[in-house]
Structure 1
Amino acid sequence: MRDVGIDRRALLRRVGGIAAGVATTSLTACETGADRDSTGTKGAKGSKTLVVRDAGGTYGAANRKAVYDPFTKETGIRIKVVNPLYEEMLAQIKKGRPRFDVMDTNMADLARFHQEDAIEELDYDRLKHAKDAGIAESLLTSYGLGKNYWASVMAYRTDAFGGKKPETWADFWDTKAFRGSRALQGSVDFPELEFALLADGVPLHKLYPLDVDRAFKALDEIKGSVRTFWEDGAVPGELLDRKEVVASRVWNGRLQDLIQRGAPLAYQWNGARRQSNGYGIPKGAENPDAAYRLIDFALRPEVQANTAKIYPQGPVVPIAYTNLSENDATNLASTPGHLASSFDLDVEWWLKNKDTVTKRWRKWMRA
């Protein structure tokens, strides 16, 4: 499982030109000079440094502007950011020496840490902004607390179908009424089974447990029209912009730069698959008190809203939308209208079945 990025050029402009690190397994990205001088002991102002793991890149830059810097200004606790991936994080925790105090990663990986007994049980009494905040129960787990929503959605060229627009995954699958090549994601994220089942008539509320055989049968029907299976989130926008495909599955936010420059592209949110990033505290964290303070700070409605204005991932606290304009909210996965027409990825089902399904998915793509 990978952290999902959004268009770098567009978001760096929105972040205000903040220099962003690249998500790697290095432990140095997104640090300020003061961060690098800190080792978790008392800082220049008598405060400690909190080490946060996030994905880096534009996502990390947005966190820096909307969350970390305001948190430091209010508390005096400086934030150092590191970017290890799952395997490295797990190895550090297993050795009893995690080099981070709080993890910002997808909820599926937090569940995996829980299975490995590598993550602390959260004390919700220490998170006042999570109480009665309207956060979905699925994001209030014992091992992790959801912090934002993002989604896999349909994208299409608005000039491709003679004035018609695809409104459902059934339309995406209908290559007679909506002619042209498609693109689907390869192995970079969870396979496309839910969209195939929606195209085949399965209702949103009856998707899980997934009927894997039915999904692959539906996928067989469209495979001949799939021009490519992409492995990089920037590729769908490039394919659509060059007219190499007329429709594709994309991560929301990836087309914003192209749309703002006038490209005839649009999102279709019906049947979108939502996922969430969340916060967790690794076992052995040196500074759990500051970790709780940061998590609680990030759940404030105004902080949630400011983050969404910079980076197109939706707030988990519904009242945050009162601080967002209609334009700000249009392409966020947790906008009320989008919540009603989309679904949450079932993390538990996928953790149990991902290896088997992904092996079959890769074999199907190559066939």
Structure 2
Amino acid sequence: MGGFSRMVKSNNHVTPEESSMTMARLFTAAALAISCLSVATVVHPTMAVSEPAKKFVVGDSGGASHDASVEAFFKPFTERTGIQIEYVSPTSFGKLRAMVEAGNVTASLWDMNSQTLEQAVSLGLLEKLNWKLINPLPIFPETRQDYAFGQSYFSTGMAWKKGTQPIESWPDFWNVEKFPGKRCLRDEPESVLPAALMADGVPLDKIYPLDVDRAFRSLERIAPNVSVWWTSGQQAATLLADNEVAYCMAWNGRIMPRPELEFNYNQALLDIAWWVVPKGAPAPEVEAAMLALHDWTVPEKQALQAERVFYPGNSPQMAQYLPEQLKDKMPTSPNNKDRQLLSNGKWWFENGDAVAQRWQEWKLGR
């Protein structure tokens, strides 16, 4: 406004009419400038803060899921945009925390499970996602969070070998008189305790908040028939295929590639794998990563990945792009999703340490 005042004061040789007209034009110009500044202030957050970087780094768990992700999403993205992607693996919560707290953040996307997501948010280790830049196609609402992008689903359910009497529920799994044979369960309370409650008759919508005492009482009934508490997903499939056990808790992605094995989604435990952005990641690289995440909402691309690893993405439309024999066999297929219990990461964040300690004490006391 100082420049405006000087212009008016220096204009002392004009007529009053001219001076009035000049001042009117100046006021109009000033108002227009202020208006434009206000619009720019409003619009700016929806725009990229800089040009996207020509490369960014992804931290993932490696293995078959990594290979499928590269082929279905990341490689076509690079071919289309020229943005290169580098990979580091394996990942862990500890690595993420150390990277952020050291102020040396090199990755712009990091995969994370539901159990550690809430902890990462509470410790301020993550950046909020720019959903305007992601510009997603329709996705399941639970996969869209302020700090996390739900990349894929997986299920932990009941499995057995073909020729074994099928079971329909966790009460069947617990019923060794009607369905005889050894069992295997995962060595992890997040999966086993909800299943134990369902085996005791608790409906899906009443599992959380978890009645831990009741869950352990239910677990006591089946424990004498559990021959293996597995720690690797491949163990479950191998135990079933080799007739070491009759029924096993297992991941759908380990069972479905084996034609001799069966998997039941009824009362399965449905979980989500997430993409997050570490706090302090380079802004231009984060922008490039947000653009890549858009591709993770395209149902046709998700179907390509699911055909390889059987872990479907976040699109409600994905199933229609699958081969006919797979349409009804994914965790998110219309006839499967609502029959499962969705993981409650918040409850486990708030109670997980105490439950984990009790879990270890229970195992040692057997």
TM-score over 0.5 (shorter chain): yes
Give the share of equivalent positions with the same residue, in percent.
30
Shift of 1:166: 0.7
1:268 equivalenced with 2:274 (yes/no): no
Shift of 1:191: 4.2
Task: For residues 232-281 of structure 1, give each alpha carbon's deviation from its aligned partner in whole angstroms, at most 9, with x where no partner exists.
Answer: 1111111111211100000112123432xxx3x21111101011112211
Alignment counterpart, residue 116 of structure 1, candidates 119, 123, 131: 123
Q: Judge which range, 110-119 or 246-255, deviates more.
A: 110-119
What secondary structure is seen at the aligned counterpart in 2 of 1:348? helix
Task: Supply the AA of the counterpart residue of 2:183.
Answer: R
| Residues 257/320 of structure 1: CA separation in 2 closer, same or farther (3 Å cut) | closer
Alignment of 1:50-61 (within 5 A): 50-61=56-67
Bigger Rg, which one = 2
Shift of 1:331: 3.1
Alignment counterpart, residue 140 of structure 2, candidates 128, 135, 143: 135
What CA distance in whole angstroms lies between the structure 2 residues aligned with 1:218 and 1:103?
37
1:31 maps to which residue?
none
What CA distance in whole angstroms lies between the structure 2 residues aligned with 1:332 and 1:314?
7
What CA distance in whole angstroms lies between the structure 2 residues aligned with 1:249 and 1:157?
12
What CA distance in whole angstroms lies between the structure 2 residues aligned with 1:301 and 1:256?
20
2:240 maps to which residue?
240
What CA distance in whole angstroms lies between the structure 1 residues aligned with 2:324 and 2:355?
39
What CA distance in whole angstroms lies between the structure 2 residues aligned with 1:291 and 1:111?
22
Shift of 1:329: 3.1
Task: Supply the AA of the counterpart residue of 2:308.
Answer: I
What CA distance in whole angstroms lies between the structure 2 residues aligned with 1:222 and 1:107?
27
2:73 maps to which residue?
67
What secondary structure is seen at the aligned counterpart in 1 of 2:106? coil
Task: Supply the AA of the counterpart residue of 1:303.
Answer: K
1:308 maps to which residue?
306
Task: Supply the AA of the counterpart residue of 1:274.
Answer: L
Q: Judge which range, 355-364 or 206-215, deviates more.
A: 355-364
Whether contact under 8 Å (1:55, 1:105) holds in the other structure is no
Task: For residues 335-358 of structure 1, give each alpha carbon's deviation from its aligned partner in whole angstroms, at most 9, with x where no partner exists.
Answer: 111112111011100111111112
What secondary structure is seen at the aligned counterpart in 2 of 1:299? coil
Shift of 1:47: 6.7
Q: Judge which range, 77-86 or 194-203, deviates more.
A: 77-86
Whether contact under 8 Å (1:150, 1:313) holds in the other structure is yes
Whether contact under 8 Å (2:77, 2:83) holds in the other structure is yes
1:78 maps to which residue?
84
What CA distance in whole angstroms lies between the structure 1 residues aligned with 2:195 and 2:324?
27
What CA distance in whole angstroms lies between the structure 2 residues aligned with 1:327 and 1:111?
37
Structure 2: 5+ residue stretches without partners? 1-50
Alignment of 1:196-211 (within 5 A): 196-211=196-211
What secondary structure is seen at the aligned counterpart in 2 of 1:96? coil
| Residues 244/109 of structure 1: CA separation in 2 closer, same or farther (3 Å cut) | same
TM-score (norm 2): 0.81
| Residues 237/145 of structure 1: CA separation in 2 closer, same or farther (3 Å cut) | same
Task: For residues 95-153 of structure 1, give each alpha carbon's deviation from its aligned partner in whole angstroms, at most 9, with x where no partner exists.
Answer: 111120111222333322211101111222222115xx1422x3221110111100101
1:87 equivalenced with 2:94 (yes/no): yes
2:34 maps to which residue?
none
What CA distance in whole angstroms lies between the structure 1 residues aligned with 2:237 and 2:300?
31
RMSD: 1.8
2:173 maps to which residue?
172
1:229 equivalenced with 2:225 (yes/no): no
| Residues 316/77 of structure 1: CA separation in 2 closer, same or farther (3 Å cut) | same
Whether contact under 8 Å (2:182, 2:225) holds in the other structure is yes
1:279 maps to which residue?
275
Task: Supply the AA of the counterpart residue of 2:68.
Answer: A
2:30 maps to which residue?
none
Q: How many residues align?
A: 312
Task: Supply the AA of the counterpart residue of 1:170.
Answer: P
What CA distance in whole angstroms lies between the structure 1 residues aligned with 2:147 and 2:115?
11
What CA distance in whole angstroms lies between the structure 2 residues aligned with 1:47 and 1:65?
21
Query: Which structure is higher in helix share?
Result: 2
What CA distance in whole angstroms lies between the structure 2 residues aligned with 1:104 and 1:71?
18
What CA distance in whole angstroms lies between the structure 1 residues aligned with 2:252 and 2:308?
14
1:154 maps to which residue?
158
Structure 1: 5+ residue stretches without partners? 1-41
Task: Supply the AA of the counterpart residue of 2:186.
Answer: Q
What secondary structure is seen at the aligned counterpart in 2 of 1:277? strand
What CA distance in whole angstroms lies between the structure 2 residues aligned with 1:79 and 1:270?
38
